[in-house]
Amino acid sequence: MCGISGKFIYREDASVDAGLMRRMTRLLAHRGPDGDGHYIQGSVGLGHRRLSIIDLSTGGQPLANEDDTVWIVFNGEIYNFQELRERLVKRGHVFRTKSDTEVIVHLYEDHGPECVQQLRGMFAFAIWDTKRRRLFVARDRVGIKPLYYFDDGRALWFASELKAILADPSVRREVNVTAIRKFLAFHYLPGEETLFQGMCKLLPGHYLIAEASGVTTHQYWDLHFPEQRPTMSFDEAVHQLRDLLGATVRDHMIADVPVGVLLSGGVDSSAITSLAVQATGKQIKTFTVGFDGTEVVDERPFARMAAERFGTDHYDISISADDFWDFLPSYVWHMEDPVCEPPAVALYYVSKLARDHVKVLLSGEGGDEAFAGYPNYPNMLKLDRIRAALGPLARPVGGVAARAGVWLGNERAHRYGTALGRPLADCYYSRTSGPTAFFQQQANKFFTPEFLSTSRSLAPAREIADLLKPAGKWGLLDQMLYVDTKTWLPDDLLVKADKMTMANSVELRVPLLDHVVMEFAASLPPDFKVGEGDTKRVLKATFAKLLPEEVLKRKKAGFPVPYGMWLRNGLKGRVEDILLSDRAASRGYFQKREVNRLLQADSRSGRFGKEIFSLLVVELWHQAFVDGGRAI
């Protein structure tokens, strides 16, 4: 796991500044504290920070092929690299190291950009092809590893994190005002955009080619749900999944350093723990975070139960409101992408704990997206059946239910009532019913006229509708899983997973998001995943005899953090100092009186923690990246 960066100037007679490359890599030092390296040749420069995981002695980067005509900087892990290496050696390739990185170089020599099709793992890398004078940049299929780029027509910059691109003073910093509005609609920022105009995320399953003529992007992978499902029984699916996950976790345990597991006490992380123990035959270390004396579910008792079952060396930590608040500026600095993800703060602290014991962590991230674990899946399926039964009466009945929800103060009735009379794209974004979202309902009152006029008209449902076009031939559950895999997963959950662990120089691996596992899950019939009142059926059945019953049958809790209670109680004064300051008002986005009303409404009802946290993210992001609160 590492941090990569680079610059390619299209003019052949230009030169990349060595000092710039050092500044870019220095800003990524937390991603790779074990070493750095640079390749600078005329108009191209590549930079690398290394976190040593495999081939500790000879795996330094940038790394080249036999005749130094192909150079690479790589971030991630390739789990099938040994198999690929054997094949390449038989074809006559000569290796200098034992690393997975060098496998990609030789694979590129044989297959060019299509080499990505043979890689199984998580990755973001850049290859400089000296003969073709071509830069090739690729990102893994699901988006586990981040990759940003900026093209101004004269040069291309790329990096694992935006802050490295911003190290170049010639890169303009123009705030993408429309992206701020989109973030407040989704509570994360889906798609290519960032909060800087023109700076983009390379989308998952895509690669980029930059030449003197410019930049082109290509999609090499997408998740598909077959119309004709394989003919297998539920029991056969369970057996196949057990074998697949066993092999996948075994591959994810490959490392020349200690590997541990983030254990929440839920089904996914407990299943990964059981397989990790089986794969090594040794006692492994597990880690959990909790919160004392709060209104949320404490994960630690369930995690300890699983740890005892599998005989792990278990550690846990508790964080307080002050811990949460103290880290917020650094949260925004490390995340860069605007994300309303308070559990990320807890992930930071538990990975900080883990850093004293291991260099690699396995996580159960992705099980809900692959195997349909969220309660909104059965809820939306039930809603669809009601909609079909009501026919033309669905919209008026939904309207009555929504109004009753407002009158009774029942947010759930309001949300699902509103959704009843609408198509899927209208109500399925931001993991809530879109039309009821606060910043959509209150836009004309909450935002300033200037902000409304400079941010283009926003229709989140249209973006979801575009994603649903290729999924239109699939059933409702498959459509929802596809949308979540393309939006919520890479642009919220995986941003959090990568940035918070790498802030502590820890590599996080996510076996349930191996693309072979994702494709197997997509091939299964919907009722193998969601039954009447049940989710993740096939995954739970796979581990039914291994996991404690209390873990297997517990209600899904997510990664509960009592941030809402903290923000409206002990942290209230500090929240007001930031959001009601003249500095925040000077941004010109929000009406100060409406921000104050929101804060007061949350004090009474406790319903607006997510909105308040999102506003904090916007302001702290400006302080860090626009006002220069952190040196870049």
The residues annotated as belonging to the active site are 2
Query: Smallest Cα–Cα separation from 62: which of 77, 49, 52?
Result: 49
Strand order in the sheet with 44-50: 35-41, 44-50, 2-9, 155-159, 148-151, 199-201
How would you class 278 by CB atoms within 10 Å of its CB: exposed for 0-12, middle for 13-18, buried for 19 or more? middle
The dihedral region occupied by 337, where left means phi > 0, alpha psi between -120 and 50, and beta the remainder, is: beta
Question: Which residue has 């680079």 as its token pair?
Answer: 6
User: What backbone phi and psi angles, to 5 degrees, belong to 38?
Assistant: -140, 150
Closest CA to 331 of 503, 580, 188: 503
Strand ranges, E, within 51-140 = 63-64, 70-78, 121-129, 134-139
In DSSP terms, 477 is beta-bridged to none
Q: Which two tokens stand for residue 73?
A: 């900087």
Pairing outcome for strands 148-151 and 44-50: unpaired
* Backbone Cα Rg of the chain: 24
3-state secondary structure of 287: strand
Distance CA 91, CA 78 (A): 20
* 3 state DSSP class of 290: strand
CA distance 451 to 159: 30
Centre a 10 Å sphere on the Cβ of residue 231 and count the other Cβ atoms it contains: 6
CA distance 613 to 562: 12
Longest dimension (CA), the chain: 74
Residues in a beta bridge with 432: 429
Other C-beta atoms closer than 10 Å to the C-beta of 190 total 23
Say how many residues make up the chain.
632
Residues 6+ apart with CB under 8 A from 457: none
Contacts of 236 (CB under 8 A, 6+ apart): none
Relative to beta strand 134-139, strand 155-159 is unpaired
Would strands 63-64 and 70-78 be described as parallel, antiparallel, or unpaired? antiparallel
Instruction: Give me the amino acid identity at 395.
Output: R
- Distance CA(325)–CA(572), nearest Å, equals 11
Contacts of 403 (CB under 8 A, 6+ apart): 417
Tell me what percent of the chain is helix, strand and coil, each rounded to the nearest 5.
50, 15, 35
User: Which strands make up the sheet holding 507-509, listed edge to edge?
Assistant: 313-318, 285-290, 259-262, 360-362, 507-509
Q: Tokens for 505?
A: 């120089």
The first and second tokens of residue 461, run together, are 């449902």
DSSP 8-state secondary structure symbol assigned to residue 555:
P
